[in-house]
Amino acid sequence: MDILENSKDEFEYLKEIPVFLNLPDEQLKIIHHYTVERRFRKGMIIFFEGDEGEGFHYVKSGKVKVLRTSDDGREHIIKILGAGEIFAEVLMFNNQPYPATAVAVEPSCIGMIRNVDLEQLVLTNNALALQLIKALSQRLIYAQQKIKNLALSDVMSRTAEVLLRLSQERGDQKEGGVIELALDLSRQDLASLVGTTRETVTRTLSSLKKDKIIDFDGNKIRILDIDYLTRLIS
């Protein structure tokens, strides 16, 4: 793993990260100055659940999965993150251990701002503080929705919700309203996102394919009828 502290690269990349989007260049320069960049190969652990928390992370490039491990050793994927997305934000302003494990799904460059530096930045920057509060609020809404889905929704509707969310985050619009997802995820990973077993999610996807709602080939899933998936959720 290569670690590049205070890289001399331009700070323009920070404008692609929503939490920093509305900050002036002078503030972005300061954030860039305090950022530690780490590069990870596919499959490398960024941090383990229970490790001492260092700080706030974001994906500069690549893809990351955040997961927790149950007592029986099964993985439960909390979220798949792409470029511009943040993680470990729950550690902001406290010295708690990481509540989950983060793994590079593909070669990735990860930015990290240590808690002690972030606190100083927030104390002198109201705009950054507001952006971070908004980011935390969005994560709370997401967590509450996921808990509700697991408690009240069946596997079909939860699968539809995951497919729709992935299509919004990284779908590629094709002709005829088709949305294509190129997922570097195993069926087990997808099942973990849905909150079910690999066998059940495979049967659910096959049922949706049979009804011509989706199609799939290898790691590509094509959403053919997004309105139908939306109705499944409601």
- What is 126-166 written as a DSSP string? HHHHHHHHHHHHHHHHHHHHHHHHHHH--HHHHHHHHHHHH
- The tokens for 195 are 């909150």
| Whether pLDDT at 229 is above 80 | yes
pLDDT band at 197 (very low <50, low <70, confident <90, very high): confident
pTM for the model: 0.66
Q: Burial, 59: exposed, middle or buried (Cβ in 10 Å; 0-12, 13-18, 19+)?
A: buried
Bridge partners, residue 33, by sequence: none
Instruction: Give pLDDT, residue 73.
Output: 73
pLDDT in tens, 70-129: 777 777 888 889 888 889 887 776 778 898 999 999 999 999 988 888 888 888 778 777
pLDDT in tens, 4-63: 444 445 788 888 888 787 778 888 888 888 899 999 999 999 999 999 888 889 999 999
For each of the domains in the chain, give its residue range(s) and CATH number, in order of start: 2-150 (2.60.120.10), 153-233 (1.10.10.10)
Instruction: Give pLDDT, residue 142.
Output: 61
Instruction: Give pLDDT, residue 101.
Output: 94
Contact between residue 44 and residue 2 where contact means Cβ atoms under 8 Å apart: no
Contact between residue 14 and residue 88 where contact means Cβ atoms under 8 Å apart: no
